Structure 1
Amino acid sequence: MMERNLRKERIGQVVSNKMQKSITVVVERKVKHPIYGKFVRKTTKLTAHDERNDCNIGDIVKLMETRPLSKNKRWRLVEIVEKAK
């Protein structure tokens, strides 16, 4: 049970739900520029497993790292934090 607590979690916004049982989520992070010191926003697109096809575009979701489920899927949906308006 300890290993499950070490899994990474990310919060992001759903940008695509066209696949069956899969969603694409954009995760934003702030990185300090090595020379100028300014914090720059960087985005990463993650493909996640959505077992019940609950998510819609614009939802804010929480993802958890999991075993590889397909060629690109290494994340799964934990909960929908906020539904799209």
Structure 2
Amino acid sequence: MKDTVVVEVERYTKHPKYRKYIRSSKRHQAHDPGNAHKVGEKVQIEETRPMSRHKHFKVI
């Protein structure tokens, strides 16, 4: 996976009945030209045209 990073996005949603916040996460593959980012860094991604079968985001 050249020039690709995997970004995990967490979000919190409130359960409609019990009003407890539930954490859910999703992993997106994003285009990172030159592999400029390291493991553990916080990055911003934006949706873009499909670059491959799974890559639909790019790192800003």
Query: Which TM class, normalised by the smaller chain length?
Result: over 0.9
Give RMSD over aligned pairs.
0.8
Give the alignment of 1:5-84 within 5 angstroms: 19-78=1-60
Stretches of structure 1 that go unaligned for 5 or more consecutive residues are: 1-18, 79-85
Give the corresponding residue for 1:11: none
Count how many residue pairs are aligned between Structure 1 and Structure 2.
60
Identity percentage of aligned residues: 38
For normalisation by structure 1, the TM-score amounts to: 0.67
Stretches of structure 2 that go unaligned for 5 or more consecutive residues are: none
Q: Deviations over 1:17-75 (max 9, x none)?
A: xx310000000101111221111111010000001210111010000110111000000
In 2, the alpha carbon distance for the partners of 1:70 and 1:58 equals: 24
